[in-house]
Structure formats: structure tokens, C-alpha cells
């Protein structure tokens, strides 16, 4: 039995992958020991007089295998194997030791030894079955590891391809930016010429129109470029993780943003050409427009635009869109400009109130104030309503009476032209609707008692049947 243990142990180590790869140097020494064990086995078979001596030599060899498996790193693959054979080794050693020192006792309890031997064999078979299943599981894990390594190599190739695409897209964005800067320079030069030849009223209208028209696509280009920059940072992280599904989603988002950048770049080019051709009198064609999507788009655009200028700016945005509004026949660019104007003013109001509370030195009051801007849509029997509300500083009555007048502004010099609300009022009026304001000014410390709400009403005749 002990020689069988040695032979199986050698074969187990010989076929063990870890031993082959990490410890190939142990095998020559162990093979010599095995040959010696086989010689002793032959001697035991041929020379019966040496039975006891050779039996205890084999016991010693078996114990050495057990010792080596648990103490020497080279033989660590034998541990599970030895664990299966230990009961048999111990029983055989006890049998031979009892025969040697107490033969009468052994004869009396020989049946007990045989029963123990039977259970040891059962244990051995059970452990071999378990080990076989474990080796299969390890083989499956090894295959999975190989597959993961293959996927990693494939992801590396994909990474290289994506880096090339990113470099190309970056070059395109840079070229578009330079073209827009050149266009903006041309726009400023043309504007200077118009200032000297036009009346103040028409000049103010033209300047405001140009500023608003060119600012919208420029904001789109800037914001989507910043979003792409963030997506590229996420893409680098996902490339390291090798998450192909997430990589595909990010690349898809980048492609979508690139399409929007190109679209709004063309919009800016068309605006400049229109201005150069003195064709600003055209209001554009009305088309069915999803008001909910338009309002949500310009709300997010305004927020991210302000965040890009001032990283400390923060406010909550809440929306309540009536899904029955559907599509409305409007000039989406013009109505979008009105919504953007109102939302920008709302964010400025809540930001200004936050600043005033902070300057007062009342940190508890400043912390309790939650700047919030609400935007909602609603279908009524007569048309569609779009509301923009904030819990900012509010307006006194004398200000409400003047806010739609051209060049009137409550903002500091350089922060407002005084034309935004005036142009917004005219745009809504051209659509046959109304732009009204309701406000309450309860003072800086009044909390929710100060608010402002603008209402855009578009009549039923603009609805898409």
C-alpha cells in the first residue's frame, strides 16, 4: 500500500500543471527516490526475510511524503492527495506497530482494524471523487482565464482603434472651433460697421438678434465639447476595465454629441451668412415642435452653460411636463431662445439671492436656502402654457412694469444688455401668444416668500392637428 502511495504521488505531481510550470527542478530528485522505493518493493517481494525492515522503510517513505507535502513548497500540489491517503497510512502503521509490540492484542482486535481500514478506503475513494470534481472546476476556471486574456487583447486592439478615432474627432473639433472663432471675428467687424450706419432702435434689435442667435449654437458647441471631454475620460477608465458594452455606449454618446456639434456649427455659419446678407427680418418657418423636449433641452443647456462659467454655481431643477401637449407649430429656434432667456434669468435670480444671503453672514439661513428653478408645460382649452418659476429675489412692482422695455436691466454693467426679455416678448407676440410675469418680493430673508414666474402662452391656432 505504501509503495502504491509513492507511485501515485509521483504520477500526480508529474501531471500537475503548477508543478510543471513552477517547480520542474524537483522531479529528478523525486524520481530517484521513487526508483529506490521500487527497488525496495522488489526486494520485499523476493526476500521474505526482509519483510519487517522493508515495511517500516516504506512507512518512513510514506511519512516523508506526508511531511514534504505540508512543509516543502515544491510538494504543495500533493496536499489534497496526501489528505486522502492519511487515514490508510495511519491505520497500516498502527497495524504493523501493534503486530510488532502486542501481537495478542492485535489478534483480539483485528476485526476493528479491518473495519477502520474499510472506512479509510471509503474515505480515500470519496476524496478522489471530490478532487476529480475540483480539478475539473479548476480546468474550467483556467479556460475562463484564457478567454478573459483573449478578450483583454481584443479590447486593447479596440482601444488603439478608438484612440485613433478620438484623435481624428479632436482634430475636427479643433478645426470647427477655429472656424467659429474666425466667424465670430468677422461678425464683430460687421457689427461695428452697422453701428455707424443704423439707427439706435434697429441697431439694438440687430445686435441683440445677432448676440442671441450666435450664442445659442456656440453654447451648444462648447457644452457638447465639454461633455465629450468627460466621456473620453470615462472611456479611458472603461478601456482599462475592458467593459465592451459600456465602451460601445460611451462611443455612441460621443458620436451623438459630434453630430450635434456639427449641426450647431452649421447653424452658426448660417446665422452669420444671414446677418451678412442683411436678411435678419425673416422670422423663419414654423414647424411641428415637441415643446416638452425643447423646454427640457434649453433648461439643461442653460444650467450646464452657467456651470461652465462658474463651477461654484448650483441649483435644483424641477420639471412638470404635460405629455398631452404634443407638437406645436412654432419656430423652434425662436421659442427655444425665449425659454433659454427666461431660464437664464431664473438661474441668475436664485444665484444672486444665494450670494446676498452669504454676504449677510447668516450661514444657517444661507445653508437652509435651496435655489430652485421650475419649468412646466400644460395644455389648456385655448392653447399651451409654458411656465418658468424661480425662488430667487423676486421683483418689486416698479421693476415688473419695465422689464419688457428695450435696454432695461437690473443686472450690473456687463452682465445684461436689457434686450433679452424685450425680444422674448416680441417673439411670443409674433406667434400670436402672450408673455406675462408674476412676482413677489418679500425681501432677502423671506425664503420661499420671494419668487418670480414667467408664463408663455401659445394659442390653439398654432397646434398641430
**16, part of any domain:** yes
Q: What is the mean pLDDT of residues 68-78?
A: 67
**218, part of any domain:** no
Q: How many CB atoms lie within 10 A of CB 115?
A: 11
**270, part of any domain:** no
Residue 10 or residue 218, greater confidence: 218
**293, part of any domain:** yes
CB burial class (10 A; 0-12, 13-18, 19+) of residue 371?
buried
- Which range marks the domain in which residue 323 is found? 287-465
Q: What is the pTM of this model?
A: 0.43
The CATH number for 415's domain is: 3.30.565.10
Q: What is the mean pLDDT of residues 309-336?
A: 88
Q: What is the dihedral of CA 391, 394, 400, 403, to 10 degrees?
A: -70
Residues 396-428 pLDDT 10s: 888 888 888 766 777 775 566 566 788 888 889
Residues 368-404 pLDDT 10s: 889 999 999 999 988 999 999 999 888 888 888 888 8
Residues 124-148 pLDDT 10s: 788 778 877 887 888 888 888 888 8
Last residue of a domain, one of 47, 81, 108: 108
**352, part of any domain:** yes
**151, part of any domain:** no
Last residue of a domain, one of 108, 142, 169: 108
The highest-confidence range among 58-72, 100-114, 225-239, by mean pLDDT, is: 225-239
Alpha-carbon distance of 310 to 302, in angstroms, equals: 12
Last residue of a domain, one of 61, 80, 108: 108
Q: Which of 171-185, 261-275, 307-321, 366-380 has the lowest mean pLDDT?
A: 261-275
**234, part of any domain:** no
* HEC sequence for the chain: CHHHHHHHHHHHHHHCHHHHHHCCCHHHHHHHHHHHHHHHHHHHHHCHHHHHHHHHHHHHHHHHHHHHHHHCHHHHHHHHHHHHHHHHHHHHHHHHHHHHHCHHHHHHCHHHHHHHHHHHHHHHHHHHHHHHHHHHHHHHHHHHHHHHHHHHHHHHHHHHHHHHHHHHHHHHHHHHHHHHHHHHHHHHHHHHHHHHHCCHHHHHHHHHHHHHHHHHHHHHHHHHHHHHHHHHHHHHHHHHHCCHHHHHHHHHHHHHHHHHHHHHHHHHHHHHHHHHCCCCCCCCCCEEEEHHHHHHHHHHHHHHHHHHHCCCCCCEEEEECCCCCCEEEECHHHHHHHHHHHHHHHHHHHHHHHHHHHHCCCHHHHHHCCCEEEEEEEECCCEEEEEEEECCCCCCHHHHCCCCCCCCCCCCCCCCCCCHHHHHHHHHHHCCCEEEEEEECCCHHHHHHCEEEEEEEEEHHHECC
**35, part of any domain:** yes
Q: Which residues contact 5 (CB under 8 A, 6 or more apart)?
A: 62, 65, 85, 88, 89
Q: What is the mean pLDDT of residues 181-207?
A: 58
Q: What is the mean pLDDT of residues 72-95?
A: 71
pLDDT of the residue at 278: 35
Domain count, the chain: 2
Amino acid at each position: 500500500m505504501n509503495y502504491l502511495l509513492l507511485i501515485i504521488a509521483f504520477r500526480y505531481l508529474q501531471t500537475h500543471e503548477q508543478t510543471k510550470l513552477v517547480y520542474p527542478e524537483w522531479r529528478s530528485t523525486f524520481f530517484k527516490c521513487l526508483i529506490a522505493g521500487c527497488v525496495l518493493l522488489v526486494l520485499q517481494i523476493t526476500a521474505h526475510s526482509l519483510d519487517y525492515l522493508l515495511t517500516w522503510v516504506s512507512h518512513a517513505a510514506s511519512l516523508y511524503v506526508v511531511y514534504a507535502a505540508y512543509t516543502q513548497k515544491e510538494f504543495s500540489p500533493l496536499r489534497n492527495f496526501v489528505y486522502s491517503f492519511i487515514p490508510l497510512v495511519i491505520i497500516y502503521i498502527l497495524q504493523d506497530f501493534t503486530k510488532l509490540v502486542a501481537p495478542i492484542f492485535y489478534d483480539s482486535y483485528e476485526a476493528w482494524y479491518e473495519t477502520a481500514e474499510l472506512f479509510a478506503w471509503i474515505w480515500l475513494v470519496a476524496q478522489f471523487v471530490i478532487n476529480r470534481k475540483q480539478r475539473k472546476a479548476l480546468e474550467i476556471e483556467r479556460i475562463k482565464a484564457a478567454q478573459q486574456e483573449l478578450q483583454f487583447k481584443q479590447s486593447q486592439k479596440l482601444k488603439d482603434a478608438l484612440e485613433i478615432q478620438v484623435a481624428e474627432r479632436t482634430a475636427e473639433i479643433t478645426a470647427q472651433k477655429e472656424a467659429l472663432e474666425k466667424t465670430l471675428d468677422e461678425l464683430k467687424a460687421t457689427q461695428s460697421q452697422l453701428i455707424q450706419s443704423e439707427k439706435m432702435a434697429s441697431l439694438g434689435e440687430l445686435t441683440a438678434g445677432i448676440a442671441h442667435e450666435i450664442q445659442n449654437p456656440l453654447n451648444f458647441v462648447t457644452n457638447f465639447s465639454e461633455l465629450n471631454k468627460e466621456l473620453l475620460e470615462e472611456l479611458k477608465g472603461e478601456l482599462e476595465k475592458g467593459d465592451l458594452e459600456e465602451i460601445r455606449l460611451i462611443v455612441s454618446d460621443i458620436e451623438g454629441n459630434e453630430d450635434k456639434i456639427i449641426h450647431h456649427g452649421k447653424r452658426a455659419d448660417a446665422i452669420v451668412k444671414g446677418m451678412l446678407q442683411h436678411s435678419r427680418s425673416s422670422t423663419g418657418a414654423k414647424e411641428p415642435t415637441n415643446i416638452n423636449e425643447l423646454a427640457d433641452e434649453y433648461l439643461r443647456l442653460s444650467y450646464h452653460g452657467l456651470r461652465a462659467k462658474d463651477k461654484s454655481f448650483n441649483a435644483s431643477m424641477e420639471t412638470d411636463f404635460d405629455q398631452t401637449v404634443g407638437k406645436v407649430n412654432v419656430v423652434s429656434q425662436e421659442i427655444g431662445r425665449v425659454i433659454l432667456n427666461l431660464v437664464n434669468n431664473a438661474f441668475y435670480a436664485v444665484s444672486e439671492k444665494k450670494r446676498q444671503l452669504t454676504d449677510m453672514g447668516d450661514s444657517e439661513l444661507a445653508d437652509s436656502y435651496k435655489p430652485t428653478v421650475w419649468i412646466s408645460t400644460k395644455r389648456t382649452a385655448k392653447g399651451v402654457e409654458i411656465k418658468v418659476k424661480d425662488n430667487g429675489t423676486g421683483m418689486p412692482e416698479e421693476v415688473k412694469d419695465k422689464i419688457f422695455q428695450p435696454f432695461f436691466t437690473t443686472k450690473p454693467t456687463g452682465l445684461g444688455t436689457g434686450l433679452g426679455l424685450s425680444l422674448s416678448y416680441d417673439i411670443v407676440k409674433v406667434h400670436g401668444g402672450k408673455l406675462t410675469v408674476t412676482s413677489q418680493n418679500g425681501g432677502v430673508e423671506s425664503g420661499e416668500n420671494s419668487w418670480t414666474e414667467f408664463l408663455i402662452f401659445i394659442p390653439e391656432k398654432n397646434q398641430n392637428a
